[in-house]
Chain A
Amino acid sequence: SQKIEQNSEALNIQEGKTATLTCNYTNYSPAYLQWYRQDPGRGPVFLLLIRENEKEKRKERLKVTFDTTLKQSLFHITASQPADSATYLCAQFTGNQFYFGTGTSLTVIP
């Protein structure tokens, strides 16, 4: 079955810096990748979608890249703020299944 790997360790960065989160997948290339944000005690909230024929997608301070050769998506938050602290999940639809990664916990230090 498809396997999705995200940074296993928590990521701590200084406010104002760019946070970069990684999502790697094995086996099948997805038609698209989604990124969600999850705060403690709450359900995931959709942030961005990138399709396999797109290299990059931007939304305000967020940027997602998709490299089907490397089987990897990178998620960037520029000019990070303490309010960006959360767990970020990547997700993909492959075959007939929808898979989520394990998530990366991000803490932005003031």
Chain B
Amino acid sequence: EAGVAQSPRYKIIEKRQSVAFWCNPISGHATLYWYQQILGQGPKLLIQFQNNGVVDDSQLPKDRFSAERLKGVDSTLKIQPAKLEDSAVYLCASSPTGSRGETQYFGPGTRLLVL
């Protein structure tokens, strides 16, 4: 079965510009997660979707970050405007139902550099 797909793999932008990342989860997975992983740190959950509804977005900086999963399948994460501290790898993951303890399947990530 195909894994989680993400694009682009790399992105370089200047501060105050906008950027968007795309994620296509494993087919049939109801739950989709976006994580931010800063160099040398573990992934930090930004937002969790269950189908097309938001389960948790408590750590999403809502003044500049937004995410949507309109049809309950693929998802887009946007940053507008970007800051230097947004430089990180943005990981997308999916799981079948989102139940506790369920394995999350991660994509390769999008590496963002903000200059």
Contact = CB atoms under 8 A, between A and B. Distances in A.
Interface of A: 4, 31-32, 34, 41-46, 49, 51, 89, 91, 93, 96-103
Q: SS class of chain A's interface: helix, strand, loop or mixed? A: strand
Q: SS class of chain B's interface: helix, strand, loop or mixed? A: loop
B43 interface: yes
A100 B109 contact: no
Contacts, number: 53
Closest 7 A/B residue pairs (Cβ): A43-B106, A100-B42, A46-B103, A32-B101, A100-B43, A102-B42, A44-B106
26 contacts: A32-B100, A32-B101, A34-B103, A41-B108, A42-B108, A42-B109, A43-B4, A43-B106, A43-B107, A43-B108, A43-B109, A44-B43, A45-B106, A49-B103, A89-B42, A89-B43, A91-B42, A93-B101, A96-B56, A100-B35, A100-B42, A100-B43, A100-B44, A101-B42, A102-B41, A103-B41
Interface residues of B, number: 23
Nearest to A6: B42
B104 interface: yes
Interface string B21-47: 000000000000101000011111100
Contacts of B109: 41-43
